[in-house]
Amino acid sequence: MSGACPCPNSASRRGPTSGPASRPRIRRPAASATRASGRPLAGDAPGVDLEALDRELAEATPEAVVARAAEIFGDRLVVTTSFGIQSAATLHLAQSIVPGIPVLWVDTGYLPAETYRFADELERRLDLNLHVFQSPISPARMEARHGRLWEEAGTEALDRYDRLRKVEPLQRGLRELGAQAWISGVRAEQTEFRRTLPRVGRQGTRAKIHPILHWNSRDVHRHLTEHALPYHPLFDAGYATVGDWHSSRPLGPGDAHERVTRFGGRKQECGIHLTAEEDESLVSSGL
């Protein structure tokens, strides 16, 4: 199932649109927006009190969370995706509320063939404004320099792999897209770390929005069913979560949690959803 995606290191998969399908104008932040006492958001954005916004949206529906984020951040709002098992839910949610929202996909070059086909299907079906980012070092060159990092014992080599193939492309993508805030489909029930996340928070210099943070698998299934959306093809093969072909496996009868099927059970987070401080303290510790 290996093989690199033919996509360039960073490229939009869809050109500018015109007519009814174009992205609507979104109201810019009001001049009276409350300034945060902490660091400014990226791109010299007006300060936003993210703690107050989190309290405001604590009981809001996912649709209301996305709509409020779009109202505040306008065209500086993006959504990230891995085209994982349940990714269609978040992508549909974001695209239905903010048509044409930039979709940032980090392609590691090691995804299963099923993931690439799933991405193509959702891009067509949901009319996604897809932007693909990859590591500047190819899979073959990385393996020649560092070996097959995922095969080494412990987490140090895996951490290096994740920084090269996931974290660096993500950060570059956020910069190139001018993102001041990004929507993520992470859910609290997925890992211990994700249970600590707020609905609206900050990661680095950007706001981070988690509209479906409190959904469980049944909620996701309900959304997919109501909107006739597909799961990832490997769902039918027993996968509860899927990333790279070499570090994902089906859920087994003795598995206590879906995340033990990733990274050989050695860790739960790849670093994408961690701040610099959390990356140092949690990734290396196995979380």
- Whether 3 is covered by a domain: the verdict is no
- Whether 1 is covered by a domain: the verdict is no
Distance CA 248, CA 242 (A): 5
Q: Are strands 102-106 and 77-81 parallel, antiparallel or unpaired?
A: parallel
- Please compute the mean of the pLDDT values over residues 85-99 and round it to a whole number: 96
Q: Which of residues 77 and 6 earns the better pLDDT score?
A: 77
Given a cut of 60, whether residue 16 has pLDDT beyond it is: no
Domain that holds residue 139: 10-283
Strands (E), 193-270: 200-203, 206-209
Given a cut of 80, whether residue 163 has pLDDT beyond it is: yes
The string of pLDDT tens digits covering residues 134-144 is: 999 999 999 99
Phi, psi of 32 (to 5 degrees): -90, 10
The string of pLDDT tens digits covering residues 108-127 is: 999 999 999 999 999 999 99
The string of pLDDT tens digits covering residues 233-266 is: 999 999 888 889 998 888 888 766 676 777 766 6
- Whether 270 is covered by a domain: the verdict is yes
- Whether 2 is covered by a domain: the verdict is no
- Whether 74 is covered by a domain: the verdict is yes
pTM for this predicted structure: 0.78
Q: What HEC string does 107-132 produce?
A: CCCCCCHHHHHHHHHHHHHHCCEEEE
- Whether 160 is covered by a domain: the verdict is yes
Q: What is the CATH number of the domain that holds 122?
A: 3.40.50.620
- Whether 25 is covered by a domain: the verdict is yes
The string of pLDDT tens digits covering residues 23-78 is: 333 333 333 233 333 344 444 345 789 999 999 999 999 999 999 999 999 999 99
Given a contact cutoff of 8 angstroms between Cβ atoms, the answer to whether 73 and 45 are in contact is yes
Q: Following DSSP, what letter does each residue of 62-110 receive, concatenated?
A: HHHHHHHHHHHHGGGEEEEE---TTHHHHHHHHHHHSTT-EEEEE--S-
Total domain count for the chain? 1
- Whether 50 is covered by a domain: the verdict is yes
Catalytic positions, please?
A: 270
123-145: burial string, b at 16+ Cβ within 10 Å, e else: beebebbbbbbbbebebeebeee
Residue whose entry in the numeric block shows the structure tokens 């932040």: 29
pLDDT at residue 10, as a whole number: 44
pLDDT at residue 209, as a whole number: 95
Q: Is 260 left (phi over 0), alpha (psi -120 to 50) or beta?
A: alpha
Distance CA 81, CA 90 (A): 8
